[in-house]
Amino acid sequence: MTDTRAGFTAIIGAPNAGKSTLVNRLVGSKVSIVTHKVQTTRFPIRGVMMRDNSQVVLVDTPGIFAPKRRLDRAMVRSAWEGAGDADAIVHLIDARHWTGAATQIEGAGEYEGPDEDSAIISRLKEIGAKAILALNKIDLVERPALLAAAKTLFDTGVYSDVVMISGLNGDGVDQLADLVASRMPESPYLFPEDQSADIPVRLLAAEVTREKLMLRLHQEIPYQLTVETEAWEKHGNGAVKIQQMIHVSREGHRSIVLGKGGQTIKEIGMAARKELTEILGRPVHLFLRVKVSERWQDNRERYSAIGLEFDV
């Protein structure tokens, strides 16, 4: 009999519900990229949270939505696999979309809200899984409407508990952390206590650059590109030289990523280099190139590199 607990908790939800923000706050450091755009997370990212004598491996899954392309299908399948293998499931819902508050928020239309959440609820019923409902962004909703939404959702019968949180400012997050920690089975720790994530550092570096691209670019372009860390070289003075390739689907996208006189790619590189320096705790020399790879989304190796199953 061990006096420690360890296990996996899957964070599922519709795109842009705030899953990555919540995981980063629970872990206490950045392990998943965050943008205002939907479908930012493409593959399961595992962050490690220590809570008293419990170690919780948090799986930040891709948003669950109606898939259209091969990459979409792989992302949604990965999200449900992460939920199926977990010791606990947290269904994160943007509370605004169950209270009418979203209609007052510019850009809220990117999030499908109740339609996406209802599909997840139906799937949870199908597989017979009990989830923890985490109503997020409660700081943006009036309390009476919030309580009504919580009752409506809890009455679906798929939730064991309801926790009201704000992943951004931290309200209720400690309560959620205690709850998921209590659900972990007795077990030795799965990772060293000082390890915050199991994502390879080269992949994390690529994700940081992709985050800056998504924040800087618009329309469909962020969804038509991927970033690959091609080289990682440590120098004697402690600095690291990182070379990355940005793969885009069209020549026109390449021109937009580069920008006039290379200004856009320069600004993206500066932002990524600054954050990587903070994350790695050492000087970073980042070199970015852009390549037109029309069928990169059909490349089996790119899927396996990020832990997704290639859909034939």
Q: What does the pLDDT average to over 290-308?
A: 62
What is residue 136's predicted lDDT score, i.e. its pLDDT?
Answer: 94
Best-predicted range by mean pLDDT (29-33, 65-69, 186-190, 300-304): 186-190
Residue 8: band (very low, low, confident or very high) from pLDDT cuts 50, 70, 90:
confident
Whether the pLDDT of residue 159 is over 70: the answer is yes
Whether the pLDDT of residue 254 is over 50: the answer is yes
The mean predicted confidence, pLDDT, of the chain is 78
Q: What does the pLDDT average to over 275-282?
A: 84
Residue 270: band (very low, low, confident or very high) from pLDDT cuts 50, 70, 90:
very high
Question: Which residue would you say has higher pLDDT here, 77 or 152?
Answer: 152
What is residue 179's predicted lDDT score, i.e. its pLDDT?
Answer: 97
Q: Give, to the nearest 10 degrees, the angle between helix 173-182 and helix 19-27.
A: 80
Question: Which residue would you say has higher pLDDT here, 299 or 261?
Answer: 261
The predicted model scores a pTM of 0.62
What is residue 123's predicted lDDT score, i.e. its pLDDT?
Answer: 83
What is residue 12's predicted lDDT score, i.e. its pLDDT?
Answer: 86
What is residue 212's predicted lDDT score, i.e. its pLDDT?
Answer: 87
For the stretch 163-191, pLDDT in tens is 999 988 999 999 999 999 999 999 999 88
What is residue 92's predicted lDDT score, i.e. its pLDDT?
Answer: 93
CATH architecture assignment, domain 5-182 = 3-Layer(aba) Sandwich (3.40)
Q: What does the pLDDT average to over 258-271?
A: 93
In the chain, domain spans: 5-182, 201-305
What is residue 229's predicted lDDT score, i.e. its pLDDT?
Answer: 87
Whether the pLDDT of residue 297 is over 70: the answer is no
The rounded percent of the chain whose pLDDT value lies above 90 is 32
Burial 65-93 (b: 16+ CB within 10 A, else e): beeeeebbebbbebbbbbbeebbbbbbbb
Class at the top of the CATH hierarchy for domain 201-305 = alpha beta
Instruction: Find the range with the poorest average confidence among 67-81, 207-221, 262-276.
Output: 67-81
Whether the pLDDT of residue 70 is over 70: the answer is no
For the stretch 107-157, pLDDT in tens is 333 434 577 888 888 888 888 888 999 999 999 999 999 999 999 999 999
Question: Which residue would you say has higher pLDDT here, 197 or 204?
Answer: 204
